[in-house]
Amino acid sequence: MTERPYVIDKMISAKAIAARIEALCMDIEAEFSGTDKLVVVGLLRGSFVFIADLVRELDLPIEVDFLETSSYGDGMESSREVRILKDLRGTIEGRDVLVVEDIVDTGYTMSHVIRLLKGRKPAKLRSIALLDKPSRREVDVSSDWIGFEIPDEFVVGYGIDFAQRNRNLPYIGKVRFT
């Protein structure tokens, strides 16, 4: 298979991401003040860098767990079919939970995950997404906190990939085919 050549145009710098995470964490700490332990549920794989930076900035007792979902495969378009590839290891019943997503696009993944986790009866369930593309929304869902609202561009970097590439970029960039 021949891959189409592309370049990546920087959209959001590493410095801007770090500053936004710091501001978001202040809001999250206020929302969850008094919690005995916040369960941060990361949606793998795209959110792993965001989760790492987020939990290091939060001044709260934290437990980290992961769900792995799939709705893209190696393509650029969502299949709209959300599959759980890896479930949580621990229980969230009666606990405070923050779901961490890399990007909310059509909304299918976030909607599916929120519905799944609500059924497990957490004390409080909130969500955060690093990126939001409201112009692409097909499902009525929104995150409690958003890092950045972006236009309908295919993006990579800061944990987000294109066919398992470019996750290691320290910034968010848009893919432009040449």
Residue numbers annotated as active site: 105
DSSP 31: H
- In this structure, what are the phi and psi dihedrals at residue 37, rounded to the nearest 5 degrees? -170, 130
Confirm if 75 and 97 have CB atoms less than 8 A apart.
no
∠115-119-121 over CA atoms, to 5°? 125
Residues paired with 127 in a beta bridge: 99
HSE (CB half, 13 Å, CA atoms) of 164?
Answer: 3
